[in-house]
């Protein structure tokens, strides 16, 4: 075999390995976000009472009130942590981190309460 073919095969092998790693990473992210969604579904009655819904969208789990997104959660497989992106923050940081599913669900609950719609005064 010639050098051209050697270079071709090396590049193909490297590209296939990179694609396989990308797929494994995406699978870890999907598994982690599905675990969070399952944990939050245990509180489906509380979510419905507050008119909150969950939706998986573009590699993140969105927490919405009616049609307004309140937060998005992503998973970082390198640090093995959940990243909470808060969309309706008025004070403090709009980013948070949780080390596991339970901590993330609890932080989402606390955040949802903090942005809870206040009744209008008449």
What region does 92 belong to: left with phi over 0, alpha with psi -120 to 50, or beta? left
The model's confidence at residue 122, banded by pLDDT at 50, 70 and 90, is: very low
Taking each helix axis from N to C end, the angle separating 3-41 and 101-114, rounded to the nearest 10 degrees, works out to: 60
What length is written for the chain? Answer: 122
Burial of 85 (0-12, 13-18, 19+ CB in 10 A): middle
| Mean pLDDT calculated for residue range 65-88 | 93
| Mean pLDDT calculated for residue range 18-25 | 96
The Cα–Cα gap between 109 and 41 comes to 12
| Mean pLDDT calculated for residue range 16-40 | 96
pTM recorded for the entire structure: 0.81
Provide the pLDDT for residue 117: 56
- Residue 86 · residue 98 · CB < 8 Å: no
């Amino acid at each position: 075999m010639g050098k051209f073919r050697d270079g071709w095969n090396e590049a193909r092998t490297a590209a296939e390995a990179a694609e396989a790693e990308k797929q494994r990473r995406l699978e870890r992210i999907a598994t982690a976000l599905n675990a969070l969604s399952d944990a939050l579904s245990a509180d489906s009655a509380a979510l419905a009472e507050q008119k909150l819904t969950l939706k998986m969208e573009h590699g993140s789990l969105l927490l919405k009130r009616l049609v307004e997104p309140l937060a998005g959660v992503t998973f970082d497989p390198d640090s093995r942590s959940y990243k909470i992106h808060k969309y309706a923050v008025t004070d403090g940081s709009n980013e948070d981190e949780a080390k596991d599913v339970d901590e993330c669900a609890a932080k989402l609950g606390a955040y949802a309460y903090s942005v809870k719609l206040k009744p209008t005064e008449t």
